[in-house]
Amino acid sequence: MHERFCLNAATIKTTPLEQQIDLARHAGFRQIGLWLKDVEASMAQGHSLADIKAKLDAAGLHVAEFCFLGGWQDADEAKLKEVLTQTRRICEISKALGCDIVVTVPALGPGWLKGAPERFRQVCQAASEHGVRIAVEFPGIAAEVHDLRSARDLVAAADCPNGGLIIDTFHFFLGGSKLEDFDRMAPGEIFLVHVSDAMKLPLEKLRIPHDNRTFPGEGTIDFSPIFQQLKRLKYDGAVSLEIWNRELHQANPVEVVERGAESLARLEGLL
């Protein structure tokens, strides 16, 4: 398997952390994306961050992304202080696991766009205390920051060296992003890439949160032009398989990871 491919643990989100690591290793992944809730669950069972890092190292896995930080864009001033405290905590854990990218998402509802750059700037400044980068993933169902253009405008307005973007192929498709939106971008603005396909369903059904995604090559998305743009922008970071799908979450995780690894092989020629 190509070393840039990563398994985001959301693909097997009901599986305990230790098993996530084992499954990723057995499938040939060299990178993994972890979630705070899974790390916290492992720590509640008596494992330290050093224990988890040791297991990752033994499996030959680099943590390419740590998920996720939300609530900053639509928080009132009191709540924002809590979010920034949480930002520091998440970044501290992420860095202890060898990861310098924390995933964040903007508000889903309307009315919060004006203050978004300043809020994002504060998040990035808090993350910089731990040497962590903050990567914005734009949800295709969001009211305001739902496509590459709006997400890029937000990050550019915040103007933080450790603030960047995630290109999620499902959200790129769902939110109506256009290939020409890449034209305004410069190398280095994209911190991470998530890949999943969109099921062959009407667009309104695809808008159901976290469902109706499938493995690359089994849906309707044409990955080739997206990866051509990524290559033009000299993106050489992780390509992370992230499939939110309740049926898959109830399936045998061994089979899900194996099927995921097979689907990524279809993209290898695009890297």
Burial 13-38, CB ≥16 within 10 A → b, else e: bebebeebbbbbbebbbbbbbbbbeb
Q: How far apart, in whole angstroms, are the C-alpha atoms of residue 256 and residue 111? A: 39
- What residues form DSSP beta bridges with 203? none
Q: For residue 251, what are its two tokens? A: 């399936």
- The arithmetic mean of pLDDT across residues 234-244, rounded, is 97
pLDDT above 90 for 211? no
Residue 50's pLDDT band, with cuts at 50, 70 and 90, is: very high
How do the domains of the chain map onto residue ranges? 5-270
pLDDT digits (tens, 9 = 90+) for 172-201: 999 999 999 999 999 999 999 999 999 999
68 preceded by a cis bond (ω within 30 of 0): yes
Mean per-residue pLDDT over the chain, rounded? 97
55 within 8 A of 98, measured Cβ to Cβ:
no
Q: How far apart, in whole angstroms, are the C-alpha atoms of residue 130 and residue 93? A: 10
pLDDT at 199: 96
102 within 8 A of 60, measured Cβ to Cβ:
no
AA identity, residue 92: E
Query: Where do the H-state alpha helices sit in the chain?
Result: 17-27, 36-44, 49-58, 77-96, 116-128, 148-158, 169-174, 203-206, 223-232, 246-249, 253-264
Percent of the chain with pLDDT over 70: 100
Strand 190-195 relative to strand 101-104: parallel, antiparallel, unpaired?
unpaired
Burial 81-104, CB ≥16 within 10 A → b, else e: eebbebbeebbebbbbbebbbbbb
Q: How far apart, in whole angstroms, are the C-alpha atoms of residue 86 and residue 104? A: 12
In Å, how far are 26, 39, 56, 111, 243 from 9, measured between CA atoms? 14, 11, 13, 32, 9
- Please, what CATH class does the domain formed by 5-270 belong to? alpha beta
pLDDT digits (tens, 9 = 90+) for 81-140: 999 999 999 999 999 999 999 999 999 999 999 999 999 999 999 999 999 999 999 999
Q: How far apart, in whole angstroms, are the C-alpha atoms of residue 143 and residue 107? A: 8
pLDDT above 90 for 209? no
pLDDT at 175: 96
Whole-structure pTM value: 0.97
pLDDT at 208: 83
